[in-house]
Amino acid sequence: MRCSIPAVLVAILLASGAEARTVDREQPMAVQADRQSGGLGENDTLVLTGNVVIRQGSLNIAADRATVERSEGEIARIVLDGQPVRMAQLTEAGEPVDARASRVIYTPGAETLLLSGQASVTQPRGTLEAETIRYNLDTGAIDSGGDGNRIRMTIQPRTTATRP
């Protein structure tokens, strides 16, 4: 679980054009919840419920529930549920990136991240909002939309200091 939960936010940061702080993955992870059930075995499911808070370096995740599914000792899927799930992390440049959604599903085997339910990613350069935001970590492809709703993007202009 130590390396995989931060991968959720790393994927969001990559999808938004930002680079997550690599030093965060080298920091200890603190996990808090009201309850924990399940096991830590090779093929177990671990469920954290009630005020789930995960912190590692600049990474902060808050959810109502976190489910970590393992298969043959590897994490097969992580599901975060909340009203909303809130994630925040600083980029290498020290800029904040925030993401929110009712549900976040990270599937390491398929290298996909799905934010659903009023999903949004906000960073200083802009915001992407959609019912769903799907990101492929292998290809970098981003698909957003869903349920007949339109996506909304706000793109901030570059300042003179950031232009090449």
Q: What's the rounded mean pLDDT across residues 51-66? A: 92
Give the pLDDT score at 140.
67
Count CB-CB contacts under 10 A for residue 74. 12
Q: What's the rounded mean pLDDT across residues 101-115? A: 90
Whether residue 63 has pLDDT greater than 90: yes
User: 142-145 and 59-71 as β-strands: parallel, antiparallel, unpaired?
Assistant: unpaired
CB 61 within 8 A of CB 16: no
Whole-prediction pTM: 0.78
Give the pLDDT score at 12.
44
CB 18 within 8 A of CB 113: no
Give the pLDDT score at 11.
45
C-beta pairs of 46-49 under 8 Å, 24+ apart in sequence:
46/1, 46/70
**Domain 4-162: what homologous superfamily?**
Lipopolysaccharide (LPS) transport protein A like domain (2.60.450.10)
Q: Is the dihedral of CA 63, 67, 70, 73 positive or negative?
A: positive
Q: What's the rounded mean pLDDT across residues 54-59? A: 87
Give domain limits for the chain: 4-162
Answer with the residue of higher pLDDT: 16 or 101: 101
Give the pLDDT score at 59.
83
CB 46 within 8 A of CB 39: yes
Of these ranges, 7-16, 20-29, 125-134, the one predicted with the greatest mean pLDDT is: 125-134
Across 22-31, 74-83, 84-93, least confident range:
22-31
